[in-house]
Structure 1
């Protein structure tokens, strides 16, 4: 049965003159450890999407992995980019999200894909530079953009509430980001097995919280967050 996503939002932007529309979603914002990851799927006018495409949270892990393989050839370009736990501590979660998003757009630009318009999941535009950028220097330099060589100017952003379940491009970005971040946390579990990251992917599951109380944080933990204190 066909999923509930559609290309209605993308088509509205295509009809308004945009040629390349990118759907963007993030994964890992609420985790205690590991990166925050941003997935991007760029589309030119089309009428189809992979059967069963949906918000990554609605898919089983096996189905997400299978869907990510199908998405490898969907659209004109795809990217997943990350900001590390250290960068989250330095920039805050909003700054880190923007850093990861700019890295993703820079990767597309390096492949010759220029995005004309963006569909971003949620209610808050964390990708565009604020009018009074908290991360700008006194000289007016965009400090976060300066960290990403080749980062293009961010095109107009349209917010879509629950866009990961409504827009095919955003849903694709959510699946790509979720699969790649999950794989990173599973790999990290072998070096830090006590935290249970293979199962909880860095979120605050009981086994993760208990390990933090017993062992304290690892190098992949977000130290600026309210982590459980290590017990003597």
Structure 2
């Protein structure tokens, strides 16, 4: 280097690549804590279809007891999985735990009683199904911060109107009054809730694919009743079908 050459300065240190964020792995720690506290049967529940424009709202439930081992490999919140990954998990989930089920409330029932009461109805139907196998559960882990499963103390708004919604299959004496434990992001941390979300998603998706055969213009086979561009376009052109939630503000007309 001559006196006229500029000094050589050290360059910035190369940036280290950030490690990829690992997907959370659901576990049974929360469910096992409830079992240690005295519960005999603990259920994880999750819903799908709440924001759809058409089709039912569906609630999945998976029940475990003290003998249940860790969840199937790959189980996760259904929203984090591809359709193929969800479908591949169903056989293992169908053998895991002591009971599992999916309950539904139709679009007509949603119109009659509102989405929250319809969620409760679907959840009660799922609990009745598992109670037929193992009896009433003691505790339910529910995803989120709102308990939509426990009936309101003052009674449901439409209880005084017989025939408004078909609830003859819901015998609350069968399921008792399980204690609900709310947990935000339970579908990402609790294996039972994650498993319930996968089962509910797969079953509801299959229902929407079947309905798409009767109403192909809405493309429910691909959008599952949600507000995709082709679904909204068909609604504006054709109006709602019998499977649409007509009490909702549907994008119909020009």
TM-score normalised by structure 1 residue count:
0.92
Structure 1 residue 132: deviation in Å? Answer: 1.9
Contact 2:56/2:105, CA 8 A, preserved across alignment: yes
Contact 1:3/1:53, CA 8 A, preserved across alignment: no
Structure 1 residue 113: deviation in Å? Answer: 2.7
Name the SS for the 1:169 alignment partner.
helix
Structure 1 residue 151: deviation in Å? Answer: 4.0
Name the SS for the 1:182 alignment partner.
helix
Contact 2:135/2:175, CA 8 A, preserved across alignment: no
From 61, 84, 88, give the equivalent of 1:40.
61
- What stretches of structure 1 move > 4 A for 4+ residues in a row? 143-147
Distance in 1 (alpha carbons) for counterparts of 2:114 and 2:43: 25
- Bigger shift: 107-116 or 222-231? 107-116
Matches within 5 A, 1:61-140: 61-135=83-157, 137=159
- Bigger shift: 150-159 or 122-131? 150-159
Residue of structure 2 equivalent to 1:198: 221
Q: Does 1:15 align with 2:30?
A: no
Distance in 2 (alpha carbons) for counterparts of 1:77 and 1:47: 13
Residue of structure 2 equivalent to 1:224: 247
Gaps of 5+ in 2: 1-21
Distance 1:122 1:102, change over 3 A: same
Distance in 1 (alpha carbons) for counterparts of 2:119 and 2:55: 13
Contact 2:125/2:169, CA 8 A, preserved across alignment: no
Residue of structure 2 equivalent to 1:210: 233
How many matched pairs? 227
From 175, 178, 190, give the equivalent of 1:152.
175
- Bigger shift: 98-107 or 109-118? 109-118
Name the SS for the 2:25 alignment partner.
coil
Structure 1 residue 49: deviation in Å? Answer: 1.1
Structure 1 residue 228: deviation in Å? Answer: 1.2
Distance in 2 (alpha carbons) for counterparts of 1:198 and 1:136: 33
Residue of structure 1 equivalent to 2:18: none
Structure 1 residue 36: deviation in Å? Answer: 0.2
Q: For each residue in 1:159-192, what CA deviation from the matched residue of structure 2 results, as whole angstroms up to 9, or x when unmatched?
A: 0101111100000100000000000001111110
Name the SS for the 1:159 alignment partner.
strand
Name the SS for the 2:87 alignment partner.
helix
Distance in 2 (alpha carbons) for counterparts of 1:230 and 1:173: 37
Distance 1:116 1:135, change over 3 A: same
Distance in 2 (alpha carbons) for counterparts of 1:178 and 1:219: 22
Q: Does 1:57 align with 2:79?
A: yes
Structure 1 residue 3: deviation in Å? Answer: 5.2
Q: RMSD of the alignment, in Å? A: 1.9
Which of the pair has more CA radius of gyration?
A: 2
Name the SS for the 2:100 alignment partner.
strand
Name the SS for the 2:104 alignment partner.
strand
Q: For each residue in 1:203-232, what CA deviation from the matched residue of structure 2 results, as whole angstroms up to 9, or x when unmatched?
A: 00010000000000001000000001234x
Distance in 2 (alpha carbons) for counterparts of 1:105 and 1:68: 19
Structure 1 residue 133: deviation in Å? Answer: 2.4
